[in-house]
Each structure stands twice: as structure tokens, then as C-alpha cells.
């Protein structure tokens, strides 16, 4: 079963919500965060990426950065203002992008279930990033950005969520600058018990986005317990859980800065010996195909049928691209550490891949077919780990709309 708990959300007032809401801290660089927050003193990026208010070049892990986060958080609470709900609640969080709509349940989810594997992971985390968010969380005594969870859809949960949406006005309803509509409803106290009971039918939750946030919440719990703090809100973590039937996964594309010992012609010749290669469109039509932009043209690479005897993770196109092309032909052995490779979220489109290659910032680009949610869950259920940067979930939740004081 999946356990979830109501919480007293710290949130902006409706008028301030559009200015407070910010993209997740980990999808932008310091320079991008500084640009997005420019001219907006209420942007939550001043809290989640406080180095933007310190001199350029400041180490983002310096003590001064966490002190600035606390200062900015205190300022924002008064300036927005941020208010604390009068009673613990569960919330419905709707994301809409064009015709796509998904409705999730915002709540506090169990760190004990995270430890036990009821809440499943598909990525390794980096210690330095865990250190950062753990320090940030403890300094603020708040979880300020929700983890994005997915579960196998349950009709009863869908019905209760839709009843909340139909039954009253949202706390917030606005369209962010990127065109994503964000709306949040507070769930009536009468329906909260029914919703928590309905989640007992959910056998597992899957982390889609936010592995470092979840891991940091678990570490913060340990550190706070070690200080002698009584058991409290830090035994849970803030997340929004969406049914698998509603979420949208975009590809996570790859660009390589140079061809190593290859030239465009030798790379194409080597590819032709291993795969079926033809001129093709910028986006692959199906799983098992990869689109490659090289020397001013798009090519379709047929990877062929995935070997049935390989694990769910190794049958993914991103794994096969790595094993059959990036490592043997371009010499990229570890995508976590190799500076020659970069990753471009599918929301930026294939035009961004072309731009990077034509500008000389990359030598070749690979446009991937998106991993399915079913594939993600299959990898998790097999206790597997997906390759880095395998999935790009879009639209994304925004920081600052619902925070969880601990």
C-alpha cells in the first residue's frame, strides 16, 4: 500500500502565486536562474538558487549560499506573502500544456516506504547534489520542491480527484511563462479519508523526477533525528503523485561535442557496417530507431530488435545507443563523467539539436524515441537502474506553490 499524509502547506496568496512559482532548481543553470528571476523579487529561484543574489562566480555550495537561502526565504514569507494553511490538507495539482492534462495528488509521502522500496527509484544519485539539497532543506526547515511520482491508475482515486476539481474553485489557477497552466485545489476534509483509503490499492509509487530531493529528505530525517529532534514532519517528503495513464514522457536527446578519431564520413561508414542507416526525419518514428544529425543532414539509424535475454534497462534505446555506438565508435565510456556529451530535454525540440551542431558547439546529435512509463515501471520493478538522462517528463511541477515546513 502507499501511505500519504495531509500537511499544512506553506503557500503564496493567489495574487502572488504566478510571480512566486519557479521552475525546478535542477533544470536551470545559475546563469539561467539569474535571468529568469531578473526583475522579480518574488521568484522562488531566490530561495532555491540563492547564489543568483551573490557575486558571479560564487561557489554554489559555499556556506554563504545557504545563509542567503534562509535570508531570502524569510524575506519572501513577508513580501509575497506566504501563508500556512489552517489545517492539514491534501491537494490536487493540475498541469495543462496544450491539449495535455494531468491531475496529481499533492501530499506528504512516507520515507519509511521509500526506504522499504514501496517508492521505487530508477536513477543513481550524486553525493554532491544530495549534500546540497540536504543542507538546503535543513537550513530552511522546509521541503520546498515536490518530488514527481507516478502510480498505476486506480479508478477510485481518479473519481475522487475529479470530484474535487468539479466541486470548488482552485487556490491558484494561472499560466506560467512557458505556457503551462498550474491549478491547485484543496481537498475537502470529508474526502481526504476516502482518498487515503483508496491509495491502499496502490502497490508501488515510482519516482519520475526528483530522485535527489527524495534522497535528501531521507538524509535530512537522519540528521535531524541525530540531533535529538522529536519525530515529526521530517519523517515524510513532499510529492505529487500522478496516474500513469496521464503523464507525458518526452525524449532526452544527446549531443556529442566532437567525433574523437572519427570524421563524418568514417562515422557513417562504421555505422553502415553495424546498422541499417538511411536519410530520415528529425524524430524517430518508433522504438528501436534513433535520428542522427551529422554533417548537415538527418539520418535514421535502425538499432534492430532488442535482445530478449537482456534486462529491461539494457533493452532501452538509450542503453543500446550507449553500448553499440557511443562507446565503441565515439569513445564515450561513462556519460556521467565524460565532458564530451551533453543532454537536451525533449521540450527544446530537435531544432535545438540542429542549432548546436550547426553552431559548432556539437559535432553530432542524436534524437531519441521517448521511453514509455511502462518501460520505466518495468525497470523499477526489476530493481534496475536506467541510464542517466533517460526520461524527460513534461510538463513539470513548479517550486514555491506548496512547501512543507519540517
- Interior CA angle at 49 toward 46 and 51, to 5°? 90
pLDDT digits (tens, 9 = 90+) for 5-31: 999 999 999 999 999 999 999 989 999
- In this prediction, residues 267-288 reach a mean pLDDT of 96
Nearest to 394 by CA among 252, 227, 237: 252
> Is 378 within the bounds of a domain?
no
pLDDT digits (tens, 9 = 90+) for 223-269: 888 776 555 678 999 999 999 999 999 999 999 999 999 999 999 99
Class of residue 242 by CB neighbours under 10 A (exposed 0-12, middle 13-18, buried 19+): buried
- In this prediction, residues 155-166 reach a mean pLDDT of 97
The pLDDT value given to residue 126:
86
Q: Does pLDDT of 402 surpass 70?
A: yes
d(CA 37, CA 34): 5
- Verify that 127 and 26 share a domain, yes or no: yes
The pLDDT value given to residue 182:
98
The pLDDT value given to residue 307:
79
Q: How many CA atoms lie within 13 A of 46 on its CB side?
A: 20
- Verify that 202 and 285 share a domain, yes or no: no
d(CA 397, CA 180): 9
- Verify that 264 and 211 share a domain, yes or no: no
d(CA 345, CA 293): 16
**What is the DSSP secondary structure assignment for residue 200, as one 8-state letter?**
G
d(CA 252, CA 240): 22
- Verify that 83 and 107 share a domain, yes or no: yes
The pLDDT value given to residue 228:
64
Where is pLDDT greater, at 234 or 150?
A: 150
Could you give phi then psi for residue 320, rounded to 5 degrees? -70, -35
Q: Is the dihedral of CA 131, 133, 134, 138 positive or negative?
A: positive
pLDDT digits (tens, 9 = 90+) for 74-109: 999 999 999 999 999 999 999 999 999 999 999 999
- In this prediction, residues 289-298 reach a mean pLDDT of 97
Least confident of 125-129, 207-211, 257-261, 348-352: 125-129
Start-to-end CA distance of the chain, whole Å, equals 24
Q: Does pLDDT of 141 surpass 90?
A: yes
Contacts of 166 (CB under 8 A, 6+ apart): none
- Interior CA angle at 127 toward 123 and 133, to 5°? 90
d(CA 36, CA 138): 26
Contacts of 277 (CB under 8 A, 6+ apart): 268, 271, 299, 300, 301, 302
Which triple of cell numbers denotes residue 31? 546563469
CB atoms within 10 A of CB 162: 12
- Verify that 241 and 281 share a domain, yes or no: no
The pLDDT value given to residue 229:
59
- Verify that 257 and 242 share a domain, yes or no: no
> Is 270 within the bounds of a domain?
yes
Nearest to 235 by CA among 394, 115, 90, 140: 115
> Is 235 within the bounds of a domain?
yes
- Verify that 84 and 14 share a domain, yes or no: yes
Which triple of cell numbers denotes residue 195? 482518498
In terms of residue numbers, what domain contains 61? Answer: 4-246+395-405
- Verify that 283 and 188 share a domain, yes or no: no
Task: Tell the residue number behind the cell numbers 518495468, with chain if given.
Answer: 378
Which triple of cell numbers denotes residue 372? 514509455
Dihedral of the alpha carbons of 350, 287, 102, 93, in degrees to the nearest 10:
-80
pLDDT bracket for residue 1 (50, 70, 90): confident
> Is 376 within the bounds of a domain?
no
- Verify that 176 and 268 share a domain, yes or no: no
The pLDDT value given to residue 106:
98
> Is 375 within the bounds of a domain?
no
Number of domains in the chain: 2
Task: Tell the residue number behind the cell numbers 531519441, with chain if given.
Answer: 368
- Verify that 138 and 214 share a domain, yes or no: yes
Q: Could you give the percent of the chain with pLDDT greater than 90?
A: 87
Q: Containing H/E element for 250? A: strand 249-250
- Verify that 70 and 36 share a domain, yes or no: yes
> Is 382 within the bounds of a domain?
no
Give strand pairing partners of 276: 302
Class of residue 248 by CB neighbours under 10 A (exposed 0-12, middle 13-18, buried 19+): middle
Where is pLDDT greater, at 389 or 173?
A: 173
The pLDDT value given to residue 231:
55
Q: Is the dihedral of CA 375, 376, 377, 383 positive or negative?
A: positive
- Verify that 221 and 339 share a domain, yes or no: no
Q: Does pLDDT of 337 surpass 90?
A: no
For residues 7 and 402, the answer to whether their CB atoms sit within 8 Å is no
Can you give the CATH number for the domain in which 261 is found? 3.30.1760
> Is 236 within the bounds of a domain?
yes
The pLDDT value given to residue 223:
87
> Is 374 within the bounds of a domain?
no
- As a whole number, the mean pLDDT across the chain is 94
d(CA 354, CA 33): 24
Amino acid at each position: 500500500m502507499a501511505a500519504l499524509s495531509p500537511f499544512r502547506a506553506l503557500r503564496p496568496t493567489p495574487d502572488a502565486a504566478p510571480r512566486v512559482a519557479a521552475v525546478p532548481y535542477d533544470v536551470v543553470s545559475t546563469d539561467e536562474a539569474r535571468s529568469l528571476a531578473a526583475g522579480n523579487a518574488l521568484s522562488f529561484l531566490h530561495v532555491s538558487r540563492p547564489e543568483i543574489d551573490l557575486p558571479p562566480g560564487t561557489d554554489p555550495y559555499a556556506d554563504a549560499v545557504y545563509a542567503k537561502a534562509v535570508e531570502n526565504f524569510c524575506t519572501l514569507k513577508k513580501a509575497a506573502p506566504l501563508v500556512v494553511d489552517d489545517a492539514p490538507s491534501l491537494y490536487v495539482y493540475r498541469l495543462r500544456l496544450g491539449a495535455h492534462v494531468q491531475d496529481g495528488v499533492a501530499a506528504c509521502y512516507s520515507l519509511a516506504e521509500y526506504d522499504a522500496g514501496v517508492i521505487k527509484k530508477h536513477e543513481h544519485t550524486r553525493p554532491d547534489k544530495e549534500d546540497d539539497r540536504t543542507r538546503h532543506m535543513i537550513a530552511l526547515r522546509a521541503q520546498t520542491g515536490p518530488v514527481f511520482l507516478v502510480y498505476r491508475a486506480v479508478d477510485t482515486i481518479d473519481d475522487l480527484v475529479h470530484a474535487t476539481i468539479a466541486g470548488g474553485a482552485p487556490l491558484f489557477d494561472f499560466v506560467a511563462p512557458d505556457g503551462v497552466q498550474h491549478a491547485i485545489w484543496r481537498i475537502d476534509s470529508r474526502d481526504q479519508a476516502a482518498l487515503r483509503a483508496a491509495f491502499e490499492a496502490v502497490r508501488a509509487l515510482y519516482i519520475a523526477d526528483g530522485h535527489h530531493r527524495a534522497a535528501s529528505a531521507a538524509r535530512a530525517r537522519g540528521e535531524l533525528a541525530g540531533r535529538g529532534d522529536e519525530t515529526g514532519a521530517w519523517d515524510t517528503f513532499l510529492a505529487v503523485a500522478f496516474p500513469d495513464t496521464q503523464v507525458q514522457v518526452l525524449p532526452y536527446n544527446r549531443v556529442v561535442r566532437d567525433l574523437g578519431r572519427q570524421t563524418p564520413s568514417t562515422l557513417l561508414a562504421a555505422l553502415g557496417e553495424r546498422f541499417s542507416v538511411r536519410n530520415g526525419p528529425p524524430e524517430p518514428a518508433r522504438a528501436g530507431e534513433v535520428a542522427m544529425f551529422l554533417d548537415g543532414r538527418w539520418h535514421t539509424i535502425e538499432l534492430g530488435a532488442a535482445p530478449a535475454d537482456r534486462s529491461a534497462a539494457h533493452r532501452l534505446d538509450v542503453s543500446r545507443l550507449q553500448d553499440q555506438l557511443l562507446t565503441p565508435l565515439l569513445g564515450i565510456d561513462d556519460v556521467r563523467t565524460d565532458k564530451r556529451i551533453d543532454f537536451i530535454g525533449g521540450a527544446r525540440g530537435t531544432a535545438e539539436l540542429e542549432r548546436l551542431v550547426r553552431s559548432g558547439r556539437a559535432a553530432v546529435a542524436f534524437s531519441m524515441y521517448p521511453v514509455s512509463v511502462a518501460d520505466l515501471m518495468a525497470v523499477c520493478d526489476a530493481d534496475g537502474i536506467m541510464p542517466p538522462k533517460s526520461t524527460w517528463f513534461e510538463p513539470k511541477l513548479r517550486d514555491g506553490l506548496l512547501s512543507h515546513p519540517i
